[in-house]
Amino acid sequence: MRQLSLLVLGAALAFALGLAPAAADEGMWTFDHFPSQAVATEYGIPIDQAWLDRVRLATIRLSNCTASYVSPDGLILTNHHCAEACLSEHSTPEKSLIEDGFLAARREDELRCGAQIADTLVAMEDVTAKVAAATLGLDERAANAKRKRTLTELESACEVASAKDHRTGALKCEHVSLYEGGQYFLYKYKRYDDVRLVFAPEEGIAAFGGDPDNFQFPRYCLDMTVLRAYENGKPAKTPNHLSIDFAGPKAGEPIFVSGHPGSTDRLLTVSELKSQRDLIIPNWLLRNSELRGRLIEFGESSPGAERISRDLLNGLENSIKVRRKQEDALLDDALLARKASEEAALRASVARDPKLRAAIGDPWADIDRSQIALRQLYLQYLFTENAGGFNSRLFRYARAIVRGAAERSKPDTERLPEFADAALPRITQSLGAPIPLYPELERLTLVFSLERMREWLGPDDPLVRLLLVKESPQELAARLIAASKLGDPKVRLALWNGGAAAVDASDDPMLALAKAVDPYARAVRKRYENEVEAPVDSASEKIAHARFATLGTSVYPDATFTLRLNYGTVQGWVENGTPVEPFTHLGTAFARATDAYPFRMPDSWTRAKDRLDLSTPVNFTSNNDIVGGNSGSPVVNARGNIVGLAFDGNIHSISGSYWFDAAQNRMIAVHPAFIREALTKVYGASALLAELGAAP
Amino acid sequence: MRQLSLLVLGAALAFALGLAPAAADEGMWTFDHFPSQAVATEYGIPIDQAWLDRVRLATIRLSNCTASYVSPDGLILTNHHCAEACLSEHSTPEKSLIEDGFLAARREDELRCGAQIADTLVAMEDVTAKVAAATLGLDERAANAKRKRTLTELESACEVASAKDHRTGALKCEHVSLYEGGQYFLYKYKRYDDVRLVFAPEEGIAAFGGDPDNFQFPRYCLDMTVLRAYENGKPAKTPNHLSIDFAGPKAGEPIFVSGHPGSTDRLLTVSELKSQRDLIIPNWLLRNSELRGRLIEFGESSPGAERISRDLLNGLENSIKVRRKQEDALLDDALLARKASEEAALRASVARDPKLRAAIGDPWADIDRSQIALRQLYLQYLFTENAGGFNSRLFRYARAIVRGAAERSKPDTERLPEFADAALPRITQSLGAPIPLYPELERLTLVFSLERMREWLGPDDPLVRLLLVKESPQELAARLIAASKLGDPKVRLALWNGGAAAVDASDDPMLALAKAVDPYARAVRKRYENEVEAPVDSASEKIAHARFATLGTSVYPDATFTLRLNYGTVQGWVENGTPVEPFTHLGTAFARATDAYPFRMPDSWTRAKDRLDLSTPVNFTSNNDIVGGNSGSPVVNARGNIVGLAFDGNIHSISGSYWFDAAQNRMIAVHPAFIREALTKVYGASALLAELGAAP
């Protein structure tokens, strides 16, 4: 609460509005602005540059999560749910690594995760001034185009330079917008694109309680997986890694979480929040609740169907719970009233400053207008450009190939940004990854999305008429899936490498669909960029300037799936008047187990029960300010050792998208003693234990 | 707009707030307060008592819709979608009357609809004073119980008296609460409980455009069915019936709609509307969108599965669209602001009147408190007492049998009201109706609802623990459905007639489940009645008194699925600046058809195309104020002849739950010329045409 009110109002104004500072460890801080002084004052813990560098260089950004290096040989600790796609990739309808778990007997048995990467942030460069200079004096549409082009140029130049720099070696350079466009950075990563699976427990213990328990606490999950980074076919050398302190933290102990919170919207304007509340989230929930139902019923048809759809369903159910609680937060009129009064206070401070007012005008009015345009364009944009009408992996491959061929014939800076030179290696990796593709599942998602496109755009929409006059969604999907060859990674890579000529020569019907959709999709994208994105970006920059002018940069930016560090202490909370203790223990997990999924203990655990210490702590909570993307984050103590593995938040943490509820927002982490107990007594993973430095 | 502002604010206040009266034919009027004078003034049409009596006595309340008598031999005209359950009842996985349509060659081929009834309102008795006298001086909980008991007594006495009255014969007597408890009436109906199917077209033309076109216009639906009331095994004598004027209405012609609008919430308080916006509708949409997905995927598994689930899916998709647009209306902050200012105006007028203020206190604050209780109790109430956790026809039968046995052992007035003597014949009819029951569909809905109960109540809820520790939802559902005999109407009736002894002696596992759930369900029902229902009913009565004191009864009550009459004119509207014409024609329907469901014309129509007059009007719109429940309503002209068959509203009509949008809310009706063209040239239904009085 303290920093939220500081952030937008300043302390004096906050008092005036009755928002008294509260003791809360809120904030998702960049490593270059971590409030070490506040931590020293509050907890007496010195966080110096060496500590920060060590933790930063051991923290990993996966494609979808956070992780950390935990041995000098590239060993990576993250969550089970972060590696579920990889487990699914190596499963078949007959045998599922999600269900059964996996332990590589030897290093040569470790299984490559086709689409995974491991990035470590080695440097950050502030390019705000360069971007500002490039867009100076341009109107919002021209500025939008020029900004993207400038950022692409900066990324490319950075990659070219690093490739020639033998001190760093080739780096991935990505631009980052902080404070909704108030600052632009280049973030430079050391990337490994060969990541392999070392160990995963069974889903039955990794996600004990399944979707019903997700975002709940007390909790009993061994939500861990061990991966390994490889370079040139050998385990990567990772001298920057963290040690695990298997004793774990004590109640009240200060702890730090390093990771990549995915996205928060704490700085959005009220009209942007209302677009989410009224349009974006309800539409998403309607469609995806239906998809959930289709996937569940599909899974009921056979054990094999259940296996191949499990990973998709788990991710979907997690997202549904997030979106549902986000909508609940936005439907809380008190929250919106607070946002409105904070916004009014900032607007008032602009009104009092003639120079600032002259410089930025009324960006809130610009955003209000953009949101009217958004409401008009949203469905078209969603179903065509965002491919909401074509929920199919084959279609996504087809679009990448079709658009890639068209875009790569242009100069780097004139392409759609996602096809800039810097982005191409990752596309090649994705197209070449040998991830199994199940036609029945493709059929399900594609029929679903075609039907919903027809529902929401209406049967008389031109694109709907183009596709669905002679064929029903079922017939169209069946024909495309039966005839397309894009399920084969070799075919995909050949088309990708062959460029426009190969695409033109192909008669693949899914490529034909992607070609047919493209003019509609590009047209609506152009309108969206001009009428929504450009005014929002331009106005948000101005609001950020107003905020900096009033409050400086002593505040933290919204989460952007870039590296952040926060602090807090191990603690529970009070739920409906009842205190919730911060630690759970193994004995209670067994007591709570039932005979049926998702509350059934795996056989390996039932068999091992007599050998286990049932007083072993299992999971714990803290008030660290995290959101989705932080999954897999190392929880470190004052000495910089790992004392937990973040994997979830409690149900109140979901409102963290919009504000930090100091009283109830809690992180949930796996306790390291649980990890040791499992690896020792259930899985007999002695080599892995040794590499993790666990005493025998 | 005019009457809405009159309703809550009074005209002077309305002007003060800038709500100028507008020309709109809003209102769902009871037949005893129809504004004939306003109609005479506005349209020069005299509506006298004879006209009102004739239309009232020819209008029918079906179990789910409205209909009208259209011949002296009990012939009934209503919508296809109102008879879909009956069509489904007579279908098999191999042959569907929904798909194929039906025409009885002779009267003896007419098919009985097992659960259908036909009620005609023959008398209305105001019992407000009796209810007020009975509850005088009681606190809100005692008043709630006494009110229910009094209404049960009044109903029973009315039925006993009518059975002895040879002028009326036995009547069904039902209490009706108008103006949220401002008035209580006994409505007395002549009921036929033997209703048979005479004619239905194929769904392909009845619901041309299916769910995508539902609530849309231009539209092309022959949404009609013909039924017949029977008495003692013979066609009922219905001298009160309406003639059809097959020429239909002209643009701008005044028309009247007689029917049973189901439910509106135009008089609710703001805090009640927010409970709908924040809790009830979002929860409903989430769960039922998932159910939609499960049903669709189930239907994909085989043509037979698709046939047996079609009726359920159609109803569900209709409800989803309604709920979705209701939520959109409530998310419109301008609408809620208008409601808030109307509420503030009424509260201010109470504050200015010391006597009124002393008499009613602050009922709005009472309702606010009740809504906090509602939010706490809602999920428990929904999943247990409302059986949201047990979505299964077998469970519903089981609960009726178990509760009926317990309740019938008590005196009439001490029972749960749904088991009062007056209600028992309808329960017997439902239990005895030979409606096919498909185990696979039962499995689907029951597993779904058990899973969601576990999700929303949480795995540690006592009822969830009771049911789902040894078995998964799948296992529990499979065991119950395999072993229960309640799919057999003879078994159900034997248990029902056998009462408590039969129930105690039965080992049917679904009965056992209903017994196990009952203590939980009754306990939460009692809390709900005391903490939500009692304060809401008591406070709503007081608000109604305040409204009467300010505005009199020159306004209309919210819809309650009781008989209403409204007026309007045939007209289109303006959509995004473009006028929408009020009539559609057959030629355009053919031009819009595709080769695939739900836009595929039935073969019978394609074959008949050359014989058809493509300029025949098909559907038309008007500004009559209707909502769900009005489906099947006769649209009558100034002479009291049928000139249309109401079957839908446009998308803007759904916000009619909360207010009447005079500019855009439109009814959609089948044109009688379309009916004649179809019966004559497509279906060759000459006997039916003759009975309808169509010239050859």
d(CA A77, CA B81): 58
Is residue A603 in some structural domain?
yes
Is residue B356 in some structural domain?
no
Q: What is the 3-state secondary structure (H, E, C) of B604-654?
A: HHHHHHHHCCCCCEEEEEECCCCCCCCCCCEEECCCCCEEEEEEEECHHHH
d(CA B189, CA B117): 11
- Residue A112 CB neighbours (<10 A): 16
- Decide: A625 and A27 in contact? Cβ < 8 Å: yes
Q: Taking residues A302-327, what's their average pLDDT?
A: 95
- Decide: B691 and B71 in contact? Cβ < 8 Å: yes
Please indicate whether, in this complex, the C-beta atoms of B468 and A596 are within 8 angstroms of each other: yes
Residues B527, B595, single domain; the answer is no
List the domain range (segments joined by +) for residue B162: 119-192
Residues A458, A592, single domain; the answer is no
| pLDDT single digits (tens) B29-55 | 999 999 999 999 999 999 999 999 999
Q: How close is the nearest chain B Cα to the Cα of A509, in Å?
A: 20
Please determine, for residue B17, whether its predicted confidence score (pLDDT) is greater than 50: no
Residues A207, A86, single domain; the answer is yes
d(CA A243, CA A5): 37
User: How many percent of chain B have pLDDT more than 70?
Assistant: 96
| pLDDT single digits (tens) B165-203 | 999 999 999 999 999 889 999 999 999 999 999 999 999
d(CA B145, CA A62): 62
Residue partners of A587: CB distance under 8 A and separation at least 6: A614, A615
Please determine, for residue A309, whether its predicted confidence score (pLDDT) is greater than 70: yes
Query: Which run of H or E residues covers position B293?
Result: helix B281-300
Q: Which among A515, A532, A551 is the end of a domain? A: A551
Q: Taking residues A540-566, what's their average pLDDT?
A: 89
Which of the residues A285, A289, A291, A448 would you substitute to probe the B interface, choosing the one with the greatest number of B C-beta atoms within 10 Å?
A289
Please determine, for residue B5, whether its predicted confidence score (pLDDT) is greater than 80: no
Q: Taking residues A77-98, what's their average pLDDT?
A: 95
Residue partners of B121: CB distance under 8 A and separation at least 6: B31, B56, B57, B59, B61, B187, B188, B189, B562, B563
- Decide: A221 and A205 in contact? Cβ < 8 Å: yes
- Placement of tokens 């029929």 in the chain: A447
Please count the structural domains in chain A: 3
Q: Which among B142, B164, B192 is the end of a domain? A: B192
CA angle (A271, A630, A326) in 5-degree steps? 30
- Residue B593 CB neighbours (<10 A): 18
CATH of the domain at B564: 2.40.10.120
Measured between beta carbons, the chain B residues lying within 8 angstroms of A328 are: 278
Residues B50, B184, single domain; the answer is no
Is residue A696 in some structural domain?
no
Q: How close is the nearest chain B Cα to the Cα of A74, in Å?
A: 39
d(CA B673, CA B693): 13
Residues A298, A364, single domain; the answer is yes
Measured between beta carbons, the chain A residues lying within 8 angstroms of B334 are: none
Confidence of residue B358 (pLDDT cuts 50, 70, 90): very high
CA angle (B284, B288, B289) in 5-degree steps? 115
CA-to-CA separations, B387 to B393, B485, B661, in angstroms, rounded: 11, 20, 35
Which of the residues A211, A213, A281, A286 would you substitute to probe the B interface, choosing the one with the greatest number of B C-beta atoms within 10 Å?
A286
Please indicate whether, in this complex, the C-beta atoms of B471 and A596 are within 8 angstroms of each other: yes
Q: Which among A551, A586, A601 is the end of a domain? A: A551
Q: Is the bond into A598 cis (omega within 30 degrees of 0)?
A: yes
Is residue A498 in some structural domain?
yes
d(CA B147, CA B533): 12
Residues A228, A329, single domain; the answer is no
pLDDT at B455: 94
Please indicate whether, in this complex, the C-beta atoms of A297 and B292 are within 8 angstroms of each other: no
- Decide: B237 and B74 in contact? Cβ < 8 Å: yes
ipTM: 0.92
Q: Taking residues A397-422, what's their average pLDDT?
A: 96
Is residue B110 in some structural domain?
yes
Residues B110, B247, single domain; the answer is yes
- Placement of tokens 């014949």 in the chain: B425
Measured between beta carbons, the chain A residues lying within 8 angstroms of B580 are: none
Closest chain B residue to A470, measured at CA:
B595
Closest chain A residue to B281, measured at CA:
A282
Measured between beta carbons, the chain B residues lying within 8 angstroms of A472 are: 596-597
Residues B94, B135, single domain; the answer is no
Count how many pairs of residues, chain A against chain B, have C-beta atoms within 8 Å: 128
Q: How close is the nearest chain B Cα to the Cα of A347, in Å?
A: 22
Please indicate whether, in this complex, the C-beta atoms of A286 and B285 are within 8 angstroms of each other: yes
Calculate the average pLDDT of chain B.
93
Residues A136, A247, single domain; the answer is no
| pLDDT single digits (tens) A253-283 | 999 999 999 999 999 999 999 999 999 999 9
pLDDT at A553: 66
As to burial, measured by CB atoms within 10 angstroms (0-12 exposed, 13-18 middle, 19+ buried), residue B41 is exposed
| pLDDT single digits (tens) A206-251 | 999 999 999 999 999 999 999 999 999 999 999 999 999 999 999 9
Residues A575, A495, single domain; the answer is no
Please indicate whether, in this complex, the C-beta atoms of A327 and B458 are within 8 angstroms of each other: no
Is residue A8 in some structural domain?
yes
Read off the tokens for B465.
Answer: 């623990």
Please indicate whether, in this complex, the C-beta atoms of A459 and B213 are within 8 angstroms of each other: yes
Query: Which run of H or E residues covers position B27?
Result: none
Please indicate whether, in this complex, the C-beta atoms of A331 and B282 are within 8 angstroms of each other: yes
Residue type, B489: P
pLDDT at B555: 78
Closest chain A residue to B595, measured at CA:
A470
CA-to-CA separations, B497 to B432, B502, B508, in angstroms, rounded: 11, 8, 16
Lowest mean pLDDT among A552-556, B366-370, B504-508: A552-556
Confidence of residue A555 (pLDDT cuts 50, 70, 90): confident
pTM of the predicted model as reported, rounded to 2 decimal places: 0.93
Phi, psi of B244 (to 5 degrees): -95, 130
Is residue B412 in some structural domain?
yes
Residues A11, A124, single domain; the answer is no
Q: Taking residues A616-620, what's their average pLDDT?
A: 98
| pLDDT single digits (tens) B210-234 | 999 999 999 999 999 999 999 999 9
Residues A244, A102, single domain; the answer is yes
Please determine, for residue A7, whether its predicted confidence score (pLDDT) is greater than 70: no
Residue partners of B504: CB distance under 8 A and separation at least 6: none
Q: What is the 3-state secondary structure (H, E, C) of B95-125?
A: CCHHHHCEECCCHHHCEECCCCCEEEEEEEE
Nearest by CB to B331, which of A277, A301, A594?
Answer: A277
pLDDT at A552: 73
CA angle (B627, B629, B634) in 5-degree steps? 90
Confidence of residue B551 (pLDDT cuts 50, 70, 90): confident
- Residue A175 CB neighbours (<10 A): 21
Q: Taking residues A503-520, what's their average pLDDT?
A: 97
As to burial, measured by CB atoms within 10 angstroms (0-12 exposed, 13-18 middle, 19+ buried), residue A348 is exposed
Confidence of residue A24 (pLDDT cuts 50, 70, 90): low
Measured between beta carbons, the chain A residues lying within 8 angstroms of B328 are: 278
- Decide: B244 and B84 in contact? Cβ < 8 Å: no
Please indicate whether, in this complex, the C-beta atoms of B292 and A293 are within 8 angstroms of each other: yes
Read off the tokens for B255.
Answer: 């028309």
- Placement of tokens 């008398």 in the chain: B123
pLDDT at B696: 61
Q: Is the bond into A218 cis (omega within 30 degrees of 0)?
A: yes
